[in-house]
Amino acid sequence: MQSRHRVFAEDVLLAKEAAAADQGEDHFDRVPDSLVLLIFNRLADARSLGNCSAVSRRFNALVPLVDDATLRIDRIITDAADTEDALGLAGPRPRGVLSHLLKAMLFAVLKPFGHCDAGVRGGAHAGKHAPQHHSPAQVLKNFSSIRNLRMELPVSDVGTEDGVLLRWKAVFGSTLQSCVILGGTRVDRAGAAPHAHAPSAAATAGDNEASQGGDSGSIPESFYTNGGLKLRVVWTISSLIAAATRHYLLREIVKEHPTLERVALTDAHGQGTLSMGRDQIKEFRDKPLAAAAAANRTQVPACNMKLRYAPLLELSDGTRIQGATLVVINPVGETGGIGGGMKELDEFVADALDGPFREAVCALSKRRTYLLEMNGF
């Protein structure tokens, strides 16, 4: 009977002989290309895939063939002058107060898109050795087979005060098809500690709405006089401008990637999502894009809006939404928006948001509907 030491020695010797026989052979080459592509599709992150393409010639040939890609944009322009110049908003200060407010509103919404300015601009704001920045289209240009693309901005497009709820989802073809906006003047999470800061004007308005409107679903008279309706209009216009600006950003990407079937452009905070499916992308390619004058965004058509409201909405997980508001938007002349039918629109509204906000949308959809109209801009 052999000793344990001799058996161990023979095992080590066999392992060394096998290693010598396999010297110079890369066992990863035995993995089929289809499995490598499956791994790359799970990885998805465009920058990580770019790093993988530098590993070997094989990886460099396979990375462009991935179906799914995610691009996280992490650079924004924080200097006001640079942002206005990048977005074409620079110029003499407008004389009219309304024009100045509109410009300020556009600047606030479009500011997160300053990172889309490709390259480095010359002049006082660009140093000799400034780093080169690339637009999303440039980052994705080597991906030739993308079917599903997800892009993520680093910040939300529309600034809100602490405790204020604003979520939206919009579907675009060549222009807006449908949009769902969920808002609330204050959100109290289940089990969360009370707000330590002083209540904002929006939160105070929400308290007034809840106390005066009851829970009947009717809009109290104070809603029209204490700024409640104006606040909802600001939410709506700001969300639509943000969606239209994201849509304009996609024009070059859609043009250069004929394999695209689905695109989602969201932000790190999950405030809003622009979505395009196969039919919308085809329409985007086939029809000319109507751009808004003096702004890097798609023109928003005249729209019908259905507003539903609850002074206080309590969800099953204990979340309480003050001044809960649901706005469903579709262009004038489109009876149903997506797919042209009311059933498709209802399904879109029901599935627009996730988690507790989906429950809030469903609850508000049963409330009384108020019809509003909005001109194109």
Q: Structure tokens of 362? A: 């469903």
Q: Is the dihedral of CA 251, 253, 259, 260 positive or negative?
A: negative
Q: At what angle do helices 228-249 and 201-213 cross, to 10 degrees?
A: 120
**Over residues 308-318, mean pLDDT:** 92
pTM of the model: 0.73
Q: Indicate if the pLDDT at residue 28 is higher than 80.
A: no
Determine which helix (DSSP H) or strand (DSSP E) holds 374, and give its type and residue range. strand 370-374
Chain segment 99-157, per-residue pLDDT in tens:
444 454 445 444 444 444 433 334 344 444 444 556 788 888 889 999 999 999 988 87
Closest CA to 323 of 203, 227, 236, 243: 203
- For residue range 233-289, list pLDDT tens digits in order: 999 999 999 999 999 989 999 999 999 999 999 998 899 999 999 999 999 999 888
Burial grade of 15 (CB within 10 A; 0-12, 13-18, 19 or more): exposed
Tell me the three state secondary structure of residue 299: coil
- C-alpha span between 253 and 242 (Å, rounded): 18
